[in-house]
Amino acid sequence: MGGKPDLSVGVASPWTSGWRGQVLTMAIAFLGGLGFLNLGVPGGAMSGSVLSVAVLSYFGWATPIGYFLRLTAMTITGMSIGSAIDPGTLNNIATYPVSISIMAVCVVAVTASSMAVSALISRWPAPTALLAAVPGSMAYILSVSLSLGADPPRVAIVQMIRVIFLVVLLPIIIVLESDAHLAPVGDLVNDPLWMLAGTAVSSVALGLLFLRMRMGGGMIFGSMIASGLIHGTGFATGRVPFELMMVGQIMIGAWAGSRFADFDWALFGRTLVASTLANGAGILVTLVFATAASTWLGMPFGATLIAYAPGGLEAMIVLALGLGMDPLFVSAHHFSRYFLINLSLPFLIQWLVKREAGRKAG
């Protein structure tokens, strides 16, 4: 996305491209993730990985994570999430529709508040403000931004910063609210190797099928369903090993952080205040809705906050797992948000096109 400041130019070498670049990026991700984990940072495996790779990207040394590594990360993560599901977890599904309905209203409120801040305070044009405010579906949003007269780099920056904010801030908010250190339990019984292998094969098969069907988040969703059915029916009674869970979380963090490779950091600096204000407004609205929903429905605040988080589908599901939340509850909300946005975006964009045409004609 454009050029970089002088600080990050001129470091082209075999270690910053190709497979060597990916090795370097993953190594830094593991150093950051394990470092944060050892320091006891909530959700540290992923947040440490994200931040360390983002810093590496600033200096021009990070390499975007390749397709195979991304699929591997999502498969491990989906398996881990599914293994946290047991027959008792499935009994809670009856409470989801009301909560998902509240979340749908939250999505509208987050989009409206973020857009208002960008348009009224930062004076961004309406197309840019709206597309930057929509919490999710960045690939589709960027694909239509030029045709609407929006500014794709600004839209991308707001969308990417939102995920970083969510990964870093939400664990801190949850721990401060609960006044406890939340962390995954490491002493649960692991699935035997043969069961783990069978779960992996099933997860990959269903994930690839969902990808072929062009389903958003298909690999992680398919892996989660396959593993969830195996564990939710009681066929498997253990968990994916804790160490493997951490590997998946670190790899997801590396993927998120590597999105800043080839980033226009000069534009980042110029739009940082505007992006922070827009994302801050959305997160505040999310906090209000999550607090109200958790109080009204009697659900844990932490799980509700992550479920209502405005963006970062894969990252938020992984964060729930890392903080010991109900992954099925969080997954159901984020996939509902994903489908809600993708179903409504064409109508929203059509409204925006007519609005801009009327404004220019007037």
Report pLDDT digits (tens) over 257-284: 887 777 777 888 888 899 999 999 999 9
- Can you tell me the distance from the alpha carbon of 105 to that of 275, in angstroms, rounded to the nearest whole number? 22
pLDDT, averaged across the chain = 81
Q: What is the pLDDT of residue 317?
A: 78
Q: What is the pLDDT of residue 3?
A: 40
CA 244 → CA 149, 184, 195, 250, 324, distances in Å? 45, 12, 14, 10, 15
Token pair 């809705």 in the structure block, residue: 289
Lowest mean pLDDT among 95-109, 113-127, 170-184, 334-348: 170-184
116 burial class (0-12, 13-18, 19+ CB within 10 angstroms)? Answer: middle
20-30 as b/e, with b when 16 or more CB fall inside 10 Å?
ebbebbbebbb
Name the residue ranges covered by the structural domains of the chain. 10-180+189-361
- Can you tell me the distance from the alpha carbon of 132 to that of 96, in angstroms, rounded to the nearest whole number? 28
Examine the pLDDT at 178 and tell me if it is beyond 80.
no
For the domain 10-180+189-361, what is the CATH code? 1.20.1530
Helices 126-133, 327-361: inter-axial angle, 10-degree rounding: 170
pTM comes to 0.70
Q: What is the pLDDT of residue 283?
A: 93
For 246, the enclosing helix (H) or strand (E) is helix 242-258
- Can you tell me the distance from the alpha carbon of 31 to that of 26, in angstroms, rounded to the nearest whole number? 9
Angle at 303 between CA 299 and CA 304, to 5 degrees: 65
Alpha-carbon torsion angle 69, 71, 72, 78, nearest 10:
140
CA 189 → CA 38, 185, 244, 296, distances in Å? 22, 10, 14, 35
- Can you tell me the distance from the alpha carbon of 41 to that of 80, in angstroms, rounded to the nearest whole number? 20
Examine the pLDDT at 335 and tell me if it is beyond 90.
no
Lowest mean pLDDT among 39-48, 125-134, 283-292: 39-48
Report pLDDT digits (tens) over 52-83: 998 888 888 888 888 888 899 889 988 987 88
Report pLDDT digits (tens) over 90-139: 666 666 889 999 999 999 999 999 999 999 998 888 888 888 898 876 66
Lowest mean pLDDT among 8-17, 239-248, 285-294, 315-324: 8-17
The residue ranking higher by pLDDT, 178 or 266, is 266
Q: What is the pLDDT of residue 159?
A: 83
